DNA sequence: TTGAAAGCGTTACCAT
DNA sequence: ATGGTAACGCTTTCAA
């Protein structure tokens, strides 16, 4: 037996297809009796509406696609959870499309890719120009998150300001600064996030005539961290220093390996990270906090606004960093 | 100007719609000249095929949906990367649908949900019976990953065997055993993974007439770990002990907090985890390894087989655990 | 090698 | 309150 269609239901209930459609879509002007007959027929046949056909007919999919560089980090979990709830409450479905490695980007240049079968597109942590070499092959509203571009709606974080804030706090510690820089994966498109933070940090330090006594650049991989710890141990300044790490993950990771080479947090060095992650909070790490939830919620708001056609102008929301101080920078107290 | 359709292209190129369709689908029997005219028309109009309409007509979407309990952990990143490549090379698109919290499960009971607009469904780390209270509202081939169920194709990991392996190794250390159990989130459907590992562990220990001297149950949250560390410090056995943790994350997390309460790995205790994560490898943690990549690849294979209708019987592949030994259990050497 | 026309399942317009 | 029918954009059969 083939999948029953709306027509089969209509025949079974002795009504027209229009009536069945109306019942399904909860139209008001339907007699309770007919409604009952239709429901019964639906039940008996085990009819399920073909959403594909509906979407085809309507030209709208009721779907939102999110294009992510990857999954596997709490940042995206938090961001997308915050984004999901508001759009789901407006009955939009959210589908995730992680790049899962950069060679897969080619797939996303095809306008026929599944990701574009959606009413709106969210691009997270990626500059569309770098991703596509131009605009995305998508006609609907597009919102950028965690990245800024003058040509799109965007919800972003002031990473330059974050770098500045970190640098100012670092300066206030009056310790020599060791900079643990993050390096992009060789084949991935360069992350604008790291570049922005880096420039905020170095400019601010420079304005005070200060440069890091040591800069170690590390890939976001586990073995890189061990090497970084070795390098720091070998080339560190004589006394205590402040270690400024580009992300909390880097900070927490290197802390472990520094321990193995006999450098101890709170005695030999202070530690400052970026992101305000839950792990940082639990570990007592001072960090520049990024309001991830708020950004996700803001993105949802922009998205829904755009879908309702309420946005006649480009929305560019930028969130500011704050600093959360914890024990990891207590050393400053001793020396300040 | 409206979106141009295949008909517009046909008119522009002075051919029938059939011909345009043939050009688009690379049919062999097309004169090179006509082909050129059609391509030119496509170019001039900026025509993009409507995939929705194509899918509607064909009844197939060329999409695979993956239903995940969450994202944000390296496990899913690895698994899905391994799953993605083989299906992408067969031109299937993969869309991710994380539950992002359990109250969102209701959405997935609706047969019209976006997730079911796919040719095949992958359910990861969830028992369909618990998720839906029955079979999923989906007609196509369905493959379970990281969980086993007699009614579905499945690619799973022998978690009971993993527990057994861990317990046997633990016994060989001849140290009192402290068991750091994982607890499910209160509102989430219970993970069969933890239950299976736990039973493998306890049964094996029991068979040797041994019970953990202390069992601490912890939520997979950061503050829970601190409390766990406190409890362990307070109630631990007199001498050195072996800490058996339900996951690497738990193991690595608690290690940090144990350090804070003056219990040191390699001196006061040995540590054994589960999962074989990259973080475990980097931290020198002994662990029961799960072949995540291989599982993802196997899932892709099953999926493609089912889509080609090559599977006339249920496929149930189960992967076995192996043990990776590292410094974290070196204490056994001293005492054995 | 090419084209006309039917038809996929749904909704919306216009009748009644 | 209800129904007939056209239309959405595409692929496919059948015929030329």
Tokens of A272: 């400052």
Scanning B60-172, the segments in alpha helix (DSSP H) are 74-89, 128-132, 159-172
Compute the distance between CA of residue B336 and CA of residue B331 in angstroms, rounded to an integer: 8
C-beta pairs of A206-209 under 8 Å, 24+ apart in sequence = A208/A171
Tokens of A306: 């755009």
Q: Is residue B333 a contact partner of residue B327, using CB atoms and an 8 Å limit?
A: no
What distance in Å separates residue B205's CA from the closest CA in chain A?
32
Query: Which domains, ranges and CATH numbers included, belong to chain A?
Result: 6-57 (1.10.260.40), 63-156+292-320 (3.40.50.2300), 159-290+323-329 (3.40.50.2300)
Q: Is residue A177 a contact partner of residue A240, using CB atoms and an 8 Å limit?
A: no
Task: Say yes or no for a CB contact (<8 Å) between A223 and B117.
Answer: no
Compute the distance between CA of residue B136 and CA of residue B113 in angstroms, rounded to an integer: 11
* Residue B111 CA to its chain's centroid (Å): 23
Instruction: Report chain A's terminal Cα–Cα distance, integer Å.
Output: 81
Chain A residue with CA closest to B85: the answer is A104
Instruction: With CA atoms as reference, report the closest residue to A117 among B8, B43, B26, B95.
Output: B95
pLDDT of residue A333: 47
Report the C-alpha dihedral over residues A238, A240, A241, A245, rounded to 10 degrees. 120
Backbone angles phi, psi at B293, to 5 degrees: -55, -50
* Residue A265 CA to its chain's centroid (Å): 30
In terms of average pLDDT, the best of A125-134, A298-307, B254-263 is: A298-307
Scanning B67-127, the segments in alpha helix (DSSP H) are 74-89
Compute the distance between CA of residue A248 and CA of residue A146 in angstroms, rounded to an integer: 17
pLDDT band for A259, please (50, 70, 90 cuts).
confident
The β-bridge relationship of strands A241-245 and A269-275 is parallel
C-beta pairs of A204-208 under 8 Å, 24+ apart in sequence = A204/A163, A204/A164, A204/A167, A204/A168, A204/A171, A205/A167, A205/A170, A205/A171, A205/A177, A208/A171
DSSP A265: B
Query: Residue A211, by phi and psi: left (phi above 0), alpha (psi -120 to 50) or beta?
Result: beta
Task: Say yes or no for a CB contact (<8 Å) between B72 and A77.
Answer: yes
Chain A residues whose CB is inside 8 A of the B48 CB are 111-112, 137
pLDDT band for A200, please (50, 70, 90 cuts).
very high
For helices A248-260 and A222-235, angle between their N-to-C axes, nearest 10 degrees:
60
Chain B residue with CA closest to A53: the answer is B56
B174 three-state secondary structure:
coil
B151 three-state secondary structure:
coil
A109 Cβ neighbours under 8 A, 6+ residues apart: A132, A137
Percent of chain A with pLDDT over 70: 95
Give the pLDDT mean for A101-126: 87
CA of A97 to C1' of D15 (A): 45
CA of B311 to C1' of C8 (A): 27
Query: Residue A146, by phi and psi: left (phi above 0), alpha (psi -120 to 50) or beta?
Result: left
Residues in chain A: 336
Tally A–B CB contacts below 8 A.
132
Give the pLDDT mean for A99-124: 86
What distance in Å separates residue A297's CA from the closest CA in chain B?
14
Partner residue facing A55 (CB), from B52, B80, B88: B52
Give the pLDDT mean for A186-192: 64
Chain B residues whose CB is inside 8 A of the A25 CB are none
CA of B23 to C1' of D12 (A): 14
CA of B53 to C1' of C8 (A): 10
pLDDT of residue A336: 40
Low-confidence stretches of chain B (pLDDT beneath 50): 333-336
Chain A residues whose CB is inside 8 A of the B253 CB are 282
pLDDT of residue A46: 93
pLDDT of residue A155: 98
Compute the distance between CA of residue A112 and CA of residue B95 in angstroms, rounded to an integer: 14
Please tell me the number of Cα atoms within 13 Å of B211 on its side-chain side.
3
Tokens of B242: 């072996």
Q: Is residue B213 a contact partner of residue B237, using CB atoms and an 8 Å limit?
A: yes
* Positions of chain C reached by protein Cβ under 7 A: 1-13
Chain A residue with CA closest to B75: the answer is A72
Q: Is residue B48 a contact partner of residue A117, using CB atoms and an 8 Å limit?
A: no
B175 Cβ neighbours under 8 A, 6+ residues apart: B239, B240, B241, B242, B270, B331, B332, B335
In terms of average pLDDT, the best of A167-171, A326-330, B113-117 is: A167-171
Nearest residue to nucleotide C12, by CA–C1' distance, is A18
- The label of the residue with tokens 């144990």 reads B258
The β-bridge relationship of strands A316-319 and A322-324 is unpaired
Backbone angles phi, psi at B121, to 5 degrees: -130, 135
- How big, in percent rounded to 5, are the helix, strand and coil portions of chain B? 45, 20, 35
Check the CA dihedral A84-A89-A95-A97 and report its sign.
negative
pLDDT of residue B156: 96
* Across all strands, nucleotide nearest B30 (CA–C1'): C1
pLDDT of residue B159: 95
DSSP A149: -
- DSSP-derived secondary structure for B207-232: HTT---SEEEEE-SSHHHHHHHHHHH
Burial class (CB in 10 A: 0-12, 13-18, 19+), A314: exposed
Compute the distance between CA of residue A121 and CA of residue A142 in angstroms, rounded to an integer: 5
What distance in Å separates residue A211's CA from the closest CA in chain B?
31
Taking CA atoms, B64 is separated from B87, B91, B127, in Å, by 9, 10, 19
Chain A residues whose CB is inside 8 A of the B52 CB are 52, 55-56, 61, 117
3-state secondary structure A102-141: HHHHHHHHCCCCHHHCCCEEEEECCCHHHHHCCCCCCCCC
Compute the distance between CA of residue A161 and CA of residue A142 in angstroms, rounded to an integer: 25
pLDDT band for A335, please (50, 70, 90 cuts).
very low
Give the pLDDT mean for A71-100: 92
Over residues A30-54, the pLDDT tens digits come to 999 999 999 999 999 999 999 999 9
Taking CA atoms, A210 is separated from A70, A170, A199, A218, in Å, by 36, 11, 14, 22
Chain A residues whose CB is inside 8 A of the B222 CB are 278-279, 281-283
* Residue A200 CA to its chain's centroid (Å): 21
* Across all strands, nucleotide nearest A8 (CA–C1'): C9
Q: Is residue A247 a contact partner of residue A179, using CB atoms and an 8 Å limit?
A: no
C-beta pairs of B186-195 under 8 Å, 24+ apart in sequence = B187/B102, B187/B103, B188/B69, B188/B102, B189/B102, B189/B105, B189/B126, B189/B127, B189/B130, B189/B131, B190/B130, B191/B69, B191/B125, B192/B127, B192/B147, B192/B148, B192/B159, B193/B125, B193/B146, B193/B147, B193/B159, B194/B246
pLDDT of residue A108: 87
pLDDT of residue B223: 77
pLDDT of residue B102: 66
* Across all strands, nucleotide nearest A52 (CA–C1'): C9
């Amino acid at each position: 037996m083939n999948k029953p269609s709306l027509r089969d239901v209509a025949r079974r209930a002795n009504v027209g297809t229009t009536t069945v459609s109306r019942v399904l879509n909860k139209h008001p002007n339907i007699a309770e009796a007919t409604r009952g007959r239709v429901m019964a027929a639906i039940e008996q046949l085990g009819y399920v509406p073909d959403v594909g056909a509906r979407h085809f007919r309507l030209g709208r999919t009721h779907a939102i696609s999110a294009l992510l560089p990857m999954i596997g980090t709490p940042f995206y979990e938090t961001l997308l959870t915050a984004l999901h709830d508001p759009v789901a409450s407006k009955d939009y479905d959210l589908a995730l499309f992680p790049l899962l490695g950069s060679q897969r980007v080619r797939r996303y240049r095809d306008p026929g890719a599944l990701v574009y079968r959606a009413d709106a597109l969210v691009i997270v942590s990626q500059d569309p120009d770098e991703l596509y070499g131009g605009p995305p092959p998508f006609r609907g509203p597009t919102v950028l998150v965690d990245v800024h571009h003058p040509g799109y709606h965007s919800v972003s974080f002031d990473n330059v300001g974050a770098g500045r804030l970190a640098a100012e706090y670092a300066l206030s510690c009056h310790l020599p600064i060791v900079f643990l820089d993050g390096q992009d994966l060789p084949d991935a498109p360069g992350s604008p996030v790291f570049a922005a933070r880096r420039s905020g940090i170095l400019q601010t330090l420079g304005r005070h005539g200060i440069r890091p006594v040591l800069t170690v650049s590390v890939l976001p991989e586990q073995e890189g961290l061990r090497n970084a710890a070795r390098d720091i141990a070998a080339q560190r300044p004589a006394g205590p220093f402040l270690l400024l790490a580009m992300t909390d993950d880097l900070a927490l990771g290197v802390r472990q390996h520094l321990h193995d080479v006999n450098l101890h947090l709170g005695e030999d060095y202070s530690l400052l990270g970026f992101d305000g992650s839950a792990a940082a909070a639990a570990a007592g790490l001072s960090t520049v906090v990024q309001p991830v939830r708020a950004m996700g919620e803001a993105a949802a708001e922009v998205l829904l606004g755009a879908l309702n056609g309420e946005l006649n102008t480009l929305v560019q929301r930028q969130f500011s960093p704050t600093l959360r101080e914890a024990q990891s920078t207590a050393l400053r107290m001793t020396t300040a």
